[in-house]
Chains A and B, each alone.
Chain A
Amino acid sequence: MTFPESVRSYLESDYSTQRRPFCFQIDSDCRVLDWWGDADNYGLGGLTAGDDMVDRAPFLIGHLGADAEKLPFVTTGNGTVEVHIFPEGDRYFVIVMDASDEHRFHQQRQQTANELRLLHAAQQRLIARQRALIGDLVEAKTELEHRRKEAERANESKSEFIAMMSHEFRTPLSSIVNYADLALEDDTSVENIRKSAEAISRAARHMNRLVETVLDEARLEAGQVRLHETPFELNRLLDDIATIMAPLAAEKQLSFGIYLEDRVPEMVVADDACLRQILINLLGNAIKFTESGGVRLDVSWADDVLRVAVVDTGPGIAIEDQERIFDAFERAADTSAGGTPGTGLGLTITLGLARLMRGEIDLVSERGEGCKVTVMVPAPASAETPAEETALPEPAIEYRAMRPATILVCDDDEDLLALAEYYLLRAGYGMLIARDGREAVDKALAYSPDLVLMDINTPRLPGSDAASELRAKGFKAPIIALTASDIRKLDMKTFTNSLRKPIQMPRLLARIQDHL
């Protein structure tokens, strides 16, 4: 096809206007030989023959080879160009053309596509995060539901416990009220008054045991119980246990026996109070729930571990109850239905004490086949003799004063003061009364009593502070603390000894005799 001059010239003019070509010729050292076109448009104005083009046209680096090359869309500080390189012998012809319009078109299109891909990637990340969050939510919901059920169960157990405690308290309370009324009647015989007093005493002691049990569990749960490991005579402890338990078994016409293996050491090191409570709880439970047959305690020892097994011929514990029977306020389904009294805390306390002693409990039982509970606790043998007879029951005592002595009693409870007055005077002691800590300090310093009974929770000046003040002022006589709180919190450098409330007067008199 042959173009007429007008068409050819139009095409050349249009192409030249649109692409504004610039051509230059360089040698193999990249030095410019000559050029043609609009150099200024590409920042290449002011060329001089022999100029090094590497600096001015860096797109040449690496592209001066044997073959012709095309570099589309090369952007430099002077815009975007299309570069063609043609080798000709030992020279190169380079054509640079404006590619701004085409570059802009491609960039807009690619920008849109890339932004869409970035959005898609962000969306995928959000979806993944959302899925993870949903997973977390489902997990949290399951956990919450589990905790809600646990809380409901705990709440039910506590409600049952309150109802049970209410019932347990009402029975002895009713005895106390009725026997007290009976004793106060004008025409009541001395015999009836004595029987009433005995009944009131029994009921009050029973209530005291209930309260102690609940407090023991609370102390264990709060981690307030500490181990006191000392050498003690195992036989004496077991004798005490037999003394307590045998009559209970006899009342129900159950056989009762304690069997020791020969190799059980005479003296072991452990917390005898904890072990005593464990045995009382387990044997008490066994006797309580066994209606025929008997209860047995097997004691063995090996490798510094004492093993006590309580075996009974009672109703047994169903497999499904065995795990939760050690939870607070829980009892086997049929034992609670049977109406056997109790707090449902005995086994919880036993387990807590065994763990405190770094021991274990094992339960073997089947419905109708009786029950065997074994406790294993570390108890190394000891050659020592016991330092003191801790936790052993008080021996029988003579209430009369061994020598004339004055006792200062500090308490704000008028009933306790009246009782103390009755017993102390009857025993032959002189008595001073203080109704608060300040008065106790003043009277102790003024009259120098032979012994002070100090309530801890007194008005004006707490008993502990009063005792400290007395010691600081040189008061040397024994001071015995009376408290309903944890006696382990007392400063035993200040107090000579302590007694837990409620106070049993025979024990109080015995304690006084110990220190006079």
Chain B
Amino acid sequence: MNQFSAKVCILGDFAVGKTSTVERFVNNQFSEKYLTTIGVKIDTKDVSLSGDVTLKLVLWDVAGTDRFSGVEFAYLRGASGYILVADGTRSRTISAVRTLKEQSFDRYGELPSVFLLNKADLTREWEVSDEDQRRLSEEFANVYVTSAKTGDNVTAALGRLGEMIAERDFPKTQ
């Protein structure tokens, strides 16, 4: 069995559900309580890929912001991919994702990424229409409508990211 590690950074505005998404993915748990992340919170999760390969995702849950400052750039160094997270009930968090993605690209180049439009369990409060979602799918590759609360699409999205990282960084394993 081949085992590899990859650092993945989770980026997005505050309170969009980054920490909850990691908690759902790693521990299959969810808490309604909102707790601000300061700095970075690191967790790991093994993802099984085809060809008897296991990829250890080292998930760097970076403090929420709509724009990186100097200190936060340091957290991104050495990342193999990004998980971009926005909150469907606050359309402005999509703009934050757009900015963060551009800043990351400028500093570290193009990396595999998935876009999670989170809080699918609150669609009645959404500010993002079906038409907005269609446009997002054209702008971002790999858009997933997720719910950290119910777990909808979380594993699928992160599994897809794992596959993309493996294809890019460990091509012989595929």
Contacts and interface: CB of A to CB of B under 8 A. Distances in A.
Say whether A and B bind each other.
yes
A117 B40 CA distance: 21
Interface residues of A, number: 27
B36 A114 contact: yes
A71 B40 contact: yes
Contacts of B5: 54, 58, 61
A121 B88 CA distance: 13
Nearest to A106: B38
Contacts of A313: none
Interface stretch (A62-70, A135-143, A473-481, A486-494): A62-70
B58 interface: yes
Given A54-B5, A63-B77, A114-B36, A75 B15 contact: no
A111 B35 contact: yes
Interface size class of B (residues with CB under 8 A): 20 to 34
Given A63-B77, A71-B74, A58 B42 contact: yes
A161 interface: no
B7 A117 contact: no
B7 A62 contact: yes
Contact of B90 (A54, A61, A65, A121): A121
Contacts of A54: 5
A80 B39 contact: yes
B164 interface: no
Contacts of A70: 74
Contacts of B15: 114, 118
A73 interface: yes
Interface string B70-111: 010011011100000000011000000000000000000000
B75 A71 contact: yes
Contacts of A125: 89, 125, 127
A443 interface: no
A107 B77 contact: no
B14 interface: yes
A58 B77 CA distance: 13
B41 interface: yes
B40 A74 contact: yes
A59 B41 CA distance: 10
A73 B39 contact: yes
B interface SS class: loop
Given A74-B42, A110-B38, A69 B79 contact: no
A323 interface: no
B133 interface: no
A72 B71 contact: yes
B44 A58 contact: yes
Contacts of A58: 5, 7, 42, 44, 58
Given A74-B39, A121-B90, A61 B7 contact: yes
A511 interface: no
A107 B5 CA distance: 30
A103 interface: yes
A115 interface: yes
B96 to A, nearest CB: 12
B71 A110 contact: no
Contacts of B34: 111, 114-115, 118
A117 B39 contact: no
Nearest to A57: B42
B38 A107 contact: yes
A253 interface: no
B39 A103 contact: yes
Contact of B39 (A72, A114, A121): A72
A117 B38 contact: no
A41 interface: no
Given A111-B35, A118-B15, A73 B74 contact: no
Contacts of A107: 35-36, 38
A171 interface: no
Given A114-B15, A117-B14, A73 B40 contact: yes
A28 interface: no
A76 B74 contact: no
A54 B5 CA distance: 9
Nearest to B41: A75
Contacts of A103: 38-39
B10 to A, nearest CB: 13
8 contacts: A58-B44, A62-B79, A69-B77, A71-B40, A71-B75, A72-B71, A110-B63, A115-B34
Q: Which 6 A-B pairs have the closest CB atoms?
A: A62-B78, A73-B39, A75-B41, A111-B36, A61-B7, A110-B36
Interface of B: 5, 7, 14-15, 34-42, 44, 58, 63-64, 71, 74-75, 77-79, 89-90, 125, 127
Given A73-B40, A75-B38, A114-B34, 17 more contacts: A58-B42, A58-B58, A70-B74, A71-B39, A71-B40, A71-B75, A72-B39, A73-B38, A73-B63, A74-B39, A74-B42, A76-B41, A103-B38, A107-B38, A110-B38, A114-B36, A121-B90
